[in-house]
Structure formats: C-alpha cells, structure tokens
A and B are shown apart, each in its own frame.
Chain A
C-alpha cells in the first residue's frame, strides 16, 4: 500500500501525534471513571467549555469543506475541482465522526444519546435537537459518499486469505453492484449533504440565540444562524485549500495550484457577504460601542475580524499573491483560524454568565483531550490517504 507514496507512514511527526493521542485517551479514561468534574473546569456558571467550543462547534465549521467542495464541483459542474472533493470528503467524514465523539465525551449521560430517536422525546423546539439530528444524518450521508472510494480501492484487487479465497469472486461481484448502484444515486446524496449541512451549520448559531443575556453583545444577534452559515461557506473552501497544500507538502506531492488559486478567488466574495452581515448587524445593534472598552472580548473580536477576514480578504484579492503557494496557504489558514476563533468567541470567550465568579479557563486535561482527539484525527487522515485513493494523481486515475 505505501508504495504509492513517496514517504513512509511513520515519521517523527507521526510519533509525536501518537504520544498526544495516547495522552488524550488517558484523559478520556479518567473522565469515564471519575466524571466530568475530575477533568474539566466546568461549573454551574459555565456548563459548556472547550469541548463544546472547539471539538464540536469549531469541528463542525471546519468540516464544511465536504459540502462546499461537493457543491462547487458537482452541483455547479466545475469538474476540475473534483481533485479537492475527495480529500475534503475524508476530512468531513473524519471531522464529523470526531464531533460526534466529542459530544459524547461531554454528555453527562452519553449512554442516553439514543433518546434522540425515541418517539415522544425529541423536542423540535430545541436547536440542539436539530443540530444533533442533522449531524447524525449527515454523518451517514458522508459515509455513503465515501463508499465509492472504498469500492475503487478493492475492485479487481479482492484477495482474501486462505479458505476465504473462494469468496473472492462473490465479494468482487458485490462491490461491482454496489459501485454501480452508488454511481446512480450519488447525486441525491450530494444534494442531501448540502441540505443537511446548511441546516445544522446554521442551527449551530441558533444555539446561542437562546442566551441573549449571557452572550456578549459583540456576538449576540438573532441572525447568528445566518452568520454561521455564511462563514461555513467561506471556511469550507479555505479548509479544502489549506489541507490540500498541507497534504501535498507532508506527502511530498506536487501542489495543485492550478485548481487552488481559482477556487481561492471565490473566498473573498463569500467573506464580503459574511463580514457585511456582521457589520450591518453591528451598526443596527450599536454593538460597536463595546469595541474600544479594552475588554478581552473586544480584543478577541478585533483579532477574529482582522486576522480572519480582512487580511485574507486582501491577500486573496491580490492576483499576484493568490498564485503564490506560501501566500495562498497563509490566507487560507487565516480564514480557518478566523472562523475557528469566531466559534470559540461565541461559545467560550463571549459567554458571560450573570453570576460568574471569574472567567472560564479550560483545565489542562480538557486541553490534552482536545489535542489528543485532533491528533487521532490527523493520524487517521494519514492512514486513509495511504490506504485509499483519496488524493489525486496517484498513478491510478479514478474513473469511477
């Protein structure tokens, strides 16, 4: 398998990731045995912390590359972008899997999660119900979207060991039928993926609309759902560019600049709409009054907007810079960082409970678990790329 790649699977970097992953799992074990109180700084004032703010809210936003690239390549028929769809799909599938895991770690009674499907219990008034339901359905869609890649990997190469060899033909046949069926219906799942993504990306913003007295006025607005959706569009494409360059570098493959640069042109346009909605709302609510009060929130807002919106916007609009991998990478990374910061601001830094004794600062184990989960995600991504034909141009062109 690894002969398709110029680099070995295990590198010093991978070793570090493995260590971080192990530390994260150790925290998970402590959480399971001694409870949330043993590893988190959560309390009655701050019921949500790092795990909801980063593992869940930020995770969902950064996994938006799955539906945005699919939309551009398959719905708008810009087929040259297809090379980006598979890596983004893999990120989304892994990302959402970890969002689900992250939620379960944070849930006090994770073993009751199936109550989402018990007739009579689901509460349609709850934005959280809708987020959970859509994430669950979308995860299913993502797995289905990934199936053709699995088929492609094994078709014509099924080689079961020993006594199972007799089944080779059968498995081949099953795979072939599966592939043909998937090919016929895939369009539906692509559209469904777009629908479900729009639904839960926005509902994630609705979550905080229920806490008008707790969320800082710099972020609180009833159009938060719309802003979450708009920023998800932008960050989805930025993330696809970001990870494409990262993967190319790490796996020592040529950059896909001829697709990345034109795709990057769309981002300033999306950023403009997103930022426009933010500014208009800010003027509307008069919340700019909170900008120069020197509070941590005002600083966080400015960093979010300058680093995450204004700078990458300027870079990406400059034709010369956009075509340079270094600049393009920085700009994409800034958009990713900006949207991540936005989610962290809305869920953590901007959350100001009425009776707080002080700010919430994540406990070390909370950070270790989050870092550990991200490490596992990166390791799995690498493993999948080694095993499955995810990246473009691997000597075996995929004509699905």
Chain B
C-alpha cells in the first residue's frame, strides 16, 4: 500500500530525476550572435556570361569531379534547368532574354548561407553550424545522416550521397569557409569569375552596393535584393532583371522557417515548463480521480 505521503515523496523525487534526465533536451540555445562584419557575396545575374568557370573552380576547390576546363565550354548544359547536387555545389542556368531586350540571363545557383539557417536549427547533433563570419558549414564526423536538414532547407540546396553505404555525406557549398576564414581568402567562384558577376565583402557593404546599383541603373534591375530579407536574410545577395520567381528562386517568407519551430520548442521546453506541467497535472489527477463520489477507490497495491 502506497500512502499519500509516500506518493508525493516518490513523485517529487521522480519529477526531480526526470528534470535531470531530460536536461539534454533543454539545451535550447539562444542563437549565437553573428559578427557585424560577417561576409557575403553579391551576385549580379545581369553580369554573368555563363562561362561556367565558377563551376570549374568550385569542383576543384571541393574535391568534386572536375574534368578539363574546356569541357565547361559546352553551353548546351545551360539550357536545361539544373540543380546543385552531390557532385556540383554550384550550377549556372540560362533563361531567355526578356521581350524587347537582347542577351539571355544566366543565373548562379548555390547554397545561400542563411543568416538564421533552417538546416542548422533542424540538425539534431549540430553537424551543421552557422559561422559568425557567414558560412554555414558541415561536419560529416558529427552527422547521423537523418537528412532533416534537407527537409528543412527553404531553398532545397543540400544533396546527399545515397549510394555511399557507410559514410554518406550531406553535400553543399561551403562558401569556401577554409579559404575565407583564413585571412585574405576569397571564395573560389568569386576569384575565378572573369565578368565580375560576384563581389565578395561584408554583407552590410554589399547591401549598400546592391541598392546603389538599383538606384543608379534604372530599368536594369527589379527593385529587389534577393536575400536581404528572404528566409530571415542570407549571405548571398542577388540582383536580377526580372522577378526572382521567373528564374526559379522561391518566394519564401521573410522570416526563417526555424523561427517558428524554435518558438514552439522553446515555448514547450524552456525550463521544462511543458513536461513538468503535464507531470504535475497527471499526478494530481491520479491522486484525486480515485476518490470521486461513487467511484470505488481501488487499492493502488492491487
């Protein structure tokens, strides 16, 4: 027979133990602060000539199948809309010229390195992290391969090595973090580009440049810097002559999707309020329900 005092003693202790046991869950960190001077890339689609040298440099930099430089002169690939994949972290897609204008538009696609990345928020074991200086990097040795990052990414960027039986990796652009985090380095694609399509610099400065360009060249751009606010802001910023949805960049909310889930997670688990409340409520019901009028109170001891 468990007495009432026993009961509360035991539940009390258990509540404490549960709180400790669940302590791993309550690691809901505040988001690490971003460096005010964090870096980014401004990519002006109207400059791009579709030479695909950035693809070449990127493959070399990341140890991906690269091939000879000449093979990138094959422009037929530009005509189909490609996506980055496990062997190509960046691709150039060509879109036809706007009515009444000459020259097609070439669009560079790669990881945008969100300011508040959904993939980082989603990763259960912190294999993806947002570096305060800008890059979103991946540590394969931590990864469990759940692929929740791929579900979470609003731009659908991460690719996966499904055919690796033992050590599959999540594959995506690193913003050449090894290069840029070392003093003076710049991303390989930016470095090789002969058309100055990309400018590498602090995100703040790039935003100014972008808006200046829009102001100084009326008619050349739509008045929209993609990435300034998209998904809570991204390290890559784009300029374009037409709506970004026409070049297959998604119309995403200005809030990171992680904002909502983190609010839910924190709302429920901050200080274990949620679980603790269910615990207490259940205990109280358990203790009182058995004594309701007309309710034969059965011995807990059975």
Contacts and interface: CB of A to CB of B under 8 A. Distances in A.
23 contacts: A37-B162, A44-B159, A45-B156, A47-B148, A76-B285, A106-B146, A112-B143, A113-B144, A121-B126, A122-B27, A122-B124, A123-B27, A124-B27, A125-B262, A127-B261, A185-B14, A187-B10, A188-B11, A195-B282, A199-B274, A210-B260, A211-B151, A355-B83
A132 B123 CA distance: 12
Nearest to A212: B257
A35 B163 contact: yes
A210 B2 contact: no
A44 B269 CA distance: 32
Interface of B: 2, 6-7, 10-11, 14, 18, 21-22, 24-29, 83, 85-86, 118, 121-126, 142-148, 150-152, 154-156, 158-168, 248, 250, 252-253, 257-258, 260-262, 264-265, 268-269, 274-275, 278-279, 282-283, 285-286, 289-290, 295, 297-298, 300-302
A184 B6 CA distance: 9
Given A125-B258, A128-B124, A206 B264 contact: yes
A108 interface: yes
Nearest to B257: A210
Nearest to A130: B25
> Would you call the interface of chain A mostly helix, strand, loop, or mixed?
helix
Contacts of A133: 22, 24-25
A75 B285 contact: yes
Contacts of B22: 133, 137
Contacts of B283: 191
Contact of A213 (B124, B143, B248, B252): B252
A74 B300 CA distance: 9
Contacts of B269: 124, 130
A43 interface: yes
A288 interface: no
Q: Which 3 A-B pairs have the closest CB atoms?
A: A108-B145, A37-B162, A124-B28
A211 B152 contact: yes
Contacts of B125: 112, 115-116, 118, 121-123, 129
A109 interface: yes
A125 B121 contact: yes
A199 B273 CA distance: 11
A37 B300 CA distance: 53
B165 A79 contact: no
Contacts of A187: 2, 7, 10-11, 286, 300
